[in-house]
Amino acid sequence: MTVAKRIDGKARAAALAASITEKTAALLKKHGIKPGLAVVIIGEDPASQVYVRNKKRTAESCGFHSVQHTLPKNAAESDVLKLIDELNNDTAIHGILVQLPLPDHLDEQAITQAITPSKDVDGFHFVNIGKLTAGHTSDAFVPCTPAGCMLMIEDELGRDLSGKNAVVIGRSNIVGKPMASLLLQANATVTVTHSRTKDLSKVVAGADIVVAAVGRPDMVKADWVKPGAVVIDVGINRVEKTVDGETKMVLTGDVDYDDVSKVAAAITPVPGGVGPMTITMLMANTLRSARLAAGLGA
């Protein structure tokens, strides 16, 4: 029985981070420019605190100017927008990230769209979404998770995906839709599926590339997957599992890893697959922004 190659996102992210660190040092030495990343966090959501801490640590290790703005949970929307406006006009800041989810009283769309597109390193601004959809990505920012997924797919199958069928499970603005745009740009034939898709398992079974981003633990099984497919699991679900006779909370993806690895050619694990790539792609976008702002090209 063939066992799929385990795509090591941690190692891939580390190699990419080393390259970013090297390019950052060169940018500072040659042009006196240090990429600046500002992270805005509102409230004290524990998961958000962990993400922000990881982003700050990674930014500093890459040699970036890293700034964190922490606002109280009850912060007025006007105060959040005022801070974003200040960061938009701060020449030392090249990337602005507002940590989601936001407290309920804040308008997520109003806040994410207030970030100037050239500093929108999350790729959530409608200008960046439009450029991605139109295939004009030379000066656009692509959302970090799909961008990381795309690098891992290219590692396995090359940059030109002509003749490959790709199925994306999930249609979110953060992963599903931009993922489909990137796959189309690489010449794949793309199907986007979701909760309303009829005979989902049959649709997935025709795919050479499967990207699962739906938030349902272990949903994708071996009998869904075409032998030899590349499977990218974006899902991060906390579930109770019995391990060595002990029940505990563990992280699991949208793909049943043990089952699917019996048929796939390559598969990302959870954790240690897509997750590490997401934060590193944020750094890649911030470095690009700094270079573009200086007229140096991406």
Average pLDDT of the residues of the chain? 95
pTM: 0.93
Candidates 99, 208, 218, 233; catalytic one: 99
Question: Are 30-116 and 144-276 the same fold in CATH?
Answer: yes
Asked whether the predicted pLDDT for residue 181 surpasses 80, the reply is yes
Sketch the domain layout of the chain as residue ranges: 30-116, 144-276
Candidates 23, 120, 122, 131; catalytic one: 122
Average pLDDT over residues 29-37: 97
Average pLDDT over residues 180-206: 96
Least confident of 23-32, 190-199, 245-254, 287-296: 245-254
Could you report the per-residue pLDDT of 44-69, keeping only the tens digit for each? Answer: 888 888 888 999 999 999 999 999 99
Residue 120 — very low, low, confident or very high, per pLDDT cuts 50/70/90? very high
34 is catalytic: no
258 is catalytic: no
The upper half-sphere exposure of residue 257, i.e. CA atoms within 13 Å in the direction of its Cβ, equals 18
259 is catalytic: no
Average pLDDT over residues 132-137: 94
Residue 1 — very low, low, confident or very high, per pLDDT cuts 50/70/90? low
144-276, CATH topology level: Rossmann fold (3.40.50)
The C-alpha atoms of residue 287 and residue 293 are separated, in whole angstroms, by 10
30-116, CATH topology level: Rossmann fold (3.40.50)
Candidates 23, 55, 131, 226; catalytic one: 55
Could you report the per-residue pLDDT of 202-257, keeping only the tens digit for each? Answer: 999 999 999 999 999 999 999 999 999 999 999 988 888 777 777 777 789 999 99
